[in-house]
Amino acid sequence: MNALRSLVSPRGAVFLLLVLLLIAITVLNPTFAEPGQIMRFIQRVAPIAIVAIGQYFVIIAGEFDLSQGSLITAQVIIAGNLVGQDDSRTVPVLLLMVVVGAAVGLVNGVLTTLLKVPSFIVTLGMMLALLGGVMWWTGGAATGNPADSFREIGRGGIRDVPLLDFVPWAVFIVAAWLALGIWITKRPLGKMLIAVGDNARAVDYAGARRAWVTTRAFVISSLSATLAGVLLVGYAGVHPSVGRGYEFVAITAVVLGGVVLGGGRGWIVAAAAGAFALEALFMLLNIAGVPSTLRDAVQGVIIIAAVAYSAVAFRARRKRGPRTSPDQGKEPDAPRGDSARPSASPALVSEGHTETRGD
């Protein structure tokens, strides 16, 4: 019973959905079950999953990052034009891309936290600024051709592997990025991000540096977009349209993974699984002959349905009674008769940042 309840919960349903979608794809296209095809599928989804992981950290803190897609485009153009056919430029350009990504995340975070500008507006402005810069640089046409050593990161891998035949570098990269994300969620930063999304005022009362915590979430998000851009150079080419719409795909994947818009509740593994489920859904629709022009409509329906399902499930759980969940960062409401209550969320309590205040 508990296993079934976990499967139909907001963050567990995405795994059930992913399995059902993969089975449906295999029925319609039996060759998909071949190990080599599965590796190619993971390679194709890897950039989306990486961007979704970065978006996860921003959303659990109660914010949005709409600049991811344009940042991916900018990074792809930077790589395509600065690396050229000189292999010796690969490492310096990679370092430059990391610096640019971190700077964009830092600006987004500082404007959101210190100037109190809504993150939706800040990142929307950054999205337009980056996109405008890319269009000015390229004239709206494909430009640049990075060396094969740089492209190899996104399209290369280990060949002649027993059973699997070919294992792309993207598989290792997305696995490592997810492992790093899981590690961060177990660290004070991850717990504080959940606490900020759960009850930002409690974080302030606990004496934590909320602005710096949230800013680091934006930096992680921008670095995720940078990493996705590196992979996309390998097989998507250098074009101003690369990366367009990735921010909305990432938000859809995160919501599909049961992460609550508004923050304070969600699981990073489910957010990454949402990216795979979303791409599997698009693949299934493509096999079934559904026009690709309906893709945006499908994303919109998924966001509405996933948010509605999460809200219904959360209300049902509240009716059954309060239950503390460290992963979700929520705590039950204190009895009305108590003279004092902790002002910090469980994430802060676990770190020792607590204080009490009278009602």
Mean local confidence (pLDDT), 330-345: 45
Is residue 357's pLDDT more than 50? no
- CA 193, CA 200: separation in Å to the nearest integer? 9
- CA 259, CA 227: separation in Å to the nearest integer? 22
Percentage of residues in the chain with pLDDT exceeding 90?
Answer: 41
Nearest to 356 by CA among 207, 249, 205, 236: 205
- Joined together, the tokens standing for residue 39 give 């590796």
Element (H, E) at 243: none
Is residue 187's pLDDT more than 70? yes
End-to-end CA distance of the chain: 40
What's the pTM value of the predicted model, to 2 decimals?
0.84
Per the listing, tokens 């974080």 go with 203
Please list the residues that pair with 168 across neighbouring strands: 157
pLDDT-based confidence at residue 141 (cuts at 50, 70, 90): confident
Point out the least confidently predicted range of 172-176, 204-208, 247-251, 339-343: 339-343
- Strand duo 356-358 + 165-168: pairing: unpaired
Q: What integer pLDDT is reported at residue 339 of this predicted model?
A: 42
Q: Higher confidence at residue 119 or residue 306?
A: 119
- Joined together, the tokens standing for residue 346 give 């469980």
Residues whose CB is less than 8 angstroms from the CB of residue 47 and which lie 6 or more positions away in sequence, other chains included? 72, 170, 228, 229, 231, 232, 246
pLDDT-based confidence at residue 6 (cuts at 50, 70, 90): low
